[in-house]
Structure 1
Amino acid sequence: MIRSYRKTDLEEMVRIWYEASVTAHSFVPASFWALQKSAMKETYLPLTENFVLEENGKLAGFISLVGERICALFIAPEMQGRGIGTALLEHAKTLRGRLSLKVYRENKRAFSFYKKHGFTATGEEVDEYTGCVQILMEWEGR
């Protein structure tokens, strides 16, 4: 079931974000992600429009939007590969006619995921926080 997040979901959302970030971004030190935990909980997530996918009473993943921008799409590592990311992304597509995001170039799995779901690369930039190259991607509904 996909639903709007509740404040009581924040701790679990941060856990999912952290574990999935460390798993997907081996090219960024885990210590970087650990230093971001409180900002995620106290600043970033509360400022976005969040939707969670709950399965059997447990959060499996979430997507965070600001306008037409996907700021986060994270699935608990133990729940990946089961269509949860696709379900959350499709939910976002029903809410918006256009979507954009940034994905690290070295995160080939995520880049392929977004391409498979109709996103196209529109440019690149260096992330000021990690120094890693990010690919800018966009999707437009038809």
Structure 2
Amino acid sequence: MFTIRRSRVDEGSRIVAIWRAAVDATHDFLADEDRVAIESEVKDFLPQAPLWLAVDKVDRPLAFMLMDGRHMEALFVDPAFHGRGVGAELVRHGLALHPDMTTDVNEQNGQAIGFYERMGFRRTGRSPRDGQGRPYPLIHLAYQN
């Protein structure tokens, strides 16, 4: 199974690898130049970010979640572990900390929208661009218990 704990700075390369594999598996809507630019930003930021990790029995990270107060900024699961409850367990952990959790999801990522809706999130709005101003609309979600 897996457990949840805080990330360590020395896990940066594994965390970026999870991000890269998850984006490659789920974000086929990204233009190549945007994908490259986003990865550069991620490499600079993610390794030092205060993340929650889901780790396996040998303490290898399988997925991560980034929270900013009650807002989940990111949830990425290694595609080899999609459908095994890892992402759901991280979301439940976040909800235990922040029962009024919110998040944003790319509108083109229907699989993720469905996941969050099954977890009890409801749509609260839409933005025509992502947080960096790129033309990737976001769906705003809030947990409804």
TM-score by length of 1: 0.89
Instruction: Please give the alpha-carbon distance, in whole angstroms, between the structure 1 residues aligned to 2:8 and 2:138.
Output: 30
Greater CA deviation, 70-79 or 121-130?
Answer: 121-130
Instruction: Please give the alpha-carbon distance, in whole angstroms, between the structure 2 residues aligned to 1:44 and 1:67.
Output: 17
What letter is aligned with 2:138? Q
Instruction: Please give the alpha-carbon distance, in whole angstroms, between the structure 2 residues aligned to 1:23 and 1:71.
Output: 19
**SS at 1:39's partner residue?**
helix
Superposed, which structure 2 residues align to 1:17-28 within 5 Å?
Answer: 17-28=19-30
| Aligned residue in 2 for 1:77 | 79
Runs of 4+ in structure 1 deviating by more than 4 angstroms, as ranges, are none
Q: How many residues align?
A: 140
Deviation at 1:13, TM superposition (A): 0.8
| Aligned residue in 2 for 1:101 | 103
Quick one: percent identity of the two aligned structures? 24
Instruction: Say whether residues 1:132 and 2:136 are aligned partners.
Output: yes
**SS at 1:85's partner residue?**
helix
| Aligned residue in 2 for 1:4 | 6
Instruction: Say whether residues 1:90 and 2:88 are aligned partners.
Output: no
TM-score by length of 2: 0.87
Q: 1:68 aligns with which of 46, 67, 70?
A: 70
- More strand by proportion, 1 or 2? 1
1:101-135 per-residue CA deviation (whole Å, 9 max, x = no partner) reads 11011111100000011101001002254302110
Deviation at 1:44, TM superposition (A): 4.8
Q: CA RMSD in A?
A: 1.7
**Structure 1 gap segments, 5+ residues each:** none
Return closer, same or farther for 1:66/1:45 CA change in 2, 3 Å cut-off. Answer: farther
Instruction: Say whether residues 1:54 and 2:55 are aligned partners.
Output: yes
